[in-house]
Amino acid sequence: MASLEDEVADLVFTDPPYFQNRAQNIKGLKNHKDVITEFEFDGFHSEEAYLQFLEDVLRECYRVAKPGASGYLWCGDDFVSYLNRIVTKAGFRFRKVIHWHKTNPFPAIHTRKMFANSMELMVHFSKGSPKTWNHKPVNEMHNFIEAPICMGAERTPHKTQKPLRVCLPYIEISSNPGDLVLDPFMGSGTTALACLKTGRDFIGYELNKDYCQIIEGRFSEFLNTPSLFGGEEPKVIY
Ligand SMILES: C[S@@+](CC[C@H](N)C(=O)[O-])C[C@H]1O[C@@H](n2cnc3c(N)ncnc32)[C@H](O)[C@@H]1O
Q: What is the residue-level pLDDT of the chain in tens, covering all 238 positions?
A: 999 999 999 999 999 998 875 544 444 444 444 444 444 556 687 889 899 999 999 999 999 999 999 999 999 888 899 999 999 999 999 999 999 999 999 888 888 888 998 999 999 999 999 999 999 999 999 999 999 999 999 999 999 999 999 999 999 999 999 999 999 999 999 999 999 999 999 999 999 999 999 999 999 999 888 777 776 666 555 4
CATH code (residue 80): 3.40.50.150
Give the helix ranges, DSSP H, for the chain.
33-37, 47-64, 80-89, 168-174, 190-198, 209-223
- The sign of the torsion formed by the CA atoms of 80, 135, 149, 55 equals negative
Q: 206 in ligand 1 pocket by Cβ < 6 Å?
A: yes
In whole angstroms, give the CA distance from residue 114 to residue 145: 23
115/108 Cα distance (integer angstroms): 6
User: What's the domain count of the chain?
Assistant: 1
Give the residue whose CA is nearest to atom 13 of ligand 1.
Answer: 185
- Ligand 1 within 6 A of 200 CB? no
pTM: 0.90
Could you say which DSSP state residue 224 is in? Answer: T
Residue 183 C-alpha to ligand 1 middle, in angstroms?
A: 9
238 within some domain? no
In a domain, 108, yes or no: yes
The CB of 160 under 6 Å from ligand 1? The reply is: yes
d(CA 2, CA 159): 28
Of all protein residues, the one whose alpha carbon is nearest to atom 26 of ligand 1 is 187
Is 232 domain-assigned?
A: no
What is the 3-state composition of the chain as percent helix, strand, coil, each rounded to the nearest 5? Answer: 35, 20, 45
For residue 165, the enclosing domain spans 9-225
Contact 17 CB / ligand 1 (< 6 Å): yes
